[in-house]
Amino acid sequence: MTIDNSYSLLKNTWVEGNNRYENENYEQLCTSGYYCPNDKEKKIPCPNGNYCPNSKEMKPCIGGYYCPTGSTNMTLCPIGNYCPNGKDVIPCATGYYCPFGSTSMTLCKNGNYCPNGEEMKPCSTGYYCPFGSTKMIPCENGYYCPNGKDVIPCPKDFDCPKGSSTPIPKTTISLPMILKGTQCPANYFCPPSESSGSFQMAFPCPIGYSSNMSNTLPTYQNSCFKT
């Protein structure tokens, strides 16, 4: 059996479900969330996409809000969703973000990533995040990423391993070596032996220093010149 909620203007009688009200005030019976125009006998639930703050007013819900059936006011569109027309609440796709009150999805900005539609996070250095990113991407070998946006080729004489935020100067770190001859090699210094006065060990010049010529005489660290 269909239950009909109706109001008879002639009989001043209101029927709601199984309840019957005699000689009741019309305005009291037609509560907020319903629409009851004077020329109709039915108590109408405020339709989806509208809100009814009182019995005589039905107002359209605007974008950025939603108004389900029976609304008395507009409800702000929740974070992670967008509400284009006052009716629909649509989840935000990954690679986009939707703050409170969104009417449409916003593409994730360059230098940021949007993993879930609710938040936009800044990309860390050593990574890059182009428009619409859902996660951070490690900077590739041979490039460096200083700010989460730019991917810059590694300059000459520098190293840029995967995940670099800055280029690293190329340095060849050599270990001391035992000499087999009497020649001190370039980029090394060869102090004299305490016992013989000759040199038997070759030590690499400090980082940032070099010696571009070999020597048959004992040399000291100050024989390495700053480059």
CA-wise closest residue to 68 among 82, 79, 52, 91: 52
In a domain, residue 35? The reply is: yes
The highest-confidence range among 20-34, 46-60, 106-120, by mean pLDDT, is 106-120
Phi-psi domain of 199 (left: phi exceeds 0; alpha: psi -120 through 50; beta: other): beta
**Cβ–Cβ contacts within 10 Å for residue 66, how many?**
25
| Structure-block tokens of residue 19 | 């309840």
Residue 79 within any structural domain of the chain: no
pTM of the complete model: 0.58
Kindly state whether residue 78 falls inside one of the protein's structural domains: no
Q: What is the pLDDT of residues 58-84, one digit of tens each?
A: 899 999 999 999 999 999 999 999 999
Average pLDDT over the chain reads 78
Q: Summarize the confidence of residues 108-112 as an average pLDDT.
A: 96
Last residue of a domain, one of 19, 36, 57: 57
Over residues 30-37, the mean pLDDT reads 77
* Contact by Cβ (8 Å): 29, 43: yes
Q: Give the residue, 77 or 226, on which the prediction is more confident.
A: 77
Does residue 155 belong to any structural domain of this protein?
Answer: no
Residue, of 107 and 160, whose pLDDT is higher: 107
pLDDT in tens, 165-212: 888 777 544 556 666 666 777 777 776 665 555 566 777 776 677 776
Residue 132 lies in a domain: no
Give the mean pLDDT of 38-49.
Answer: 75
Q: By C-alpha distance, which of 5, 10, 48 is closest to 30?
A: 5
Q: Examine residue 152 and state whether it is found in any structural domain, yes or no.
A: no
Residue 26: pLDDT band (50, 70, 90) is: very low
- Between 127 and 195, the more confident residue is 127
Residue 96's pLDDT is what? 96
For residue 160, tell me if it sits in a domain: no
Cβ atoms of 62 and 56 closer than 8 Å: no
Number of helices and strands in the chain (H, E): 1, 26
Contacts 24+ apart (CB under 8 A), 29-35: 30/55, 31/55, 32/72, 33/70, 33/71, 33/72, 34/70
| Higher-confidence position of 134 and 158 | 134
Domain with 192, as residue range(s), is: 171-227
Interatomic CA distance for residues 7 and 34, integer angstroms: 13
DSSP E strands in 96-136: the ranges are 96-97, 106-107, 112-113, 121-122, 127-128
How many independent structural domains does the chain possess?
A: 2
Residue 172: what pLDDT?
46
**Per-residue DSSP letter, 223:** G
In a domain, 195, yes or no: yes
The residue out of 19, 41, 57 marking a domain boundary is 57
Q: What pLDDT does 185 receive?
A: 77
Q: What percent of the chain has pLDDT over 70?
A: 68
d(CA 89, CA 49): 11
Report pLDDT for 101: 96
Dig out the tokens for 102 from the structure: 């969104």
Lowest mean pLDDT among 66-70, 91-95, 116-120, 207-211: 207-211
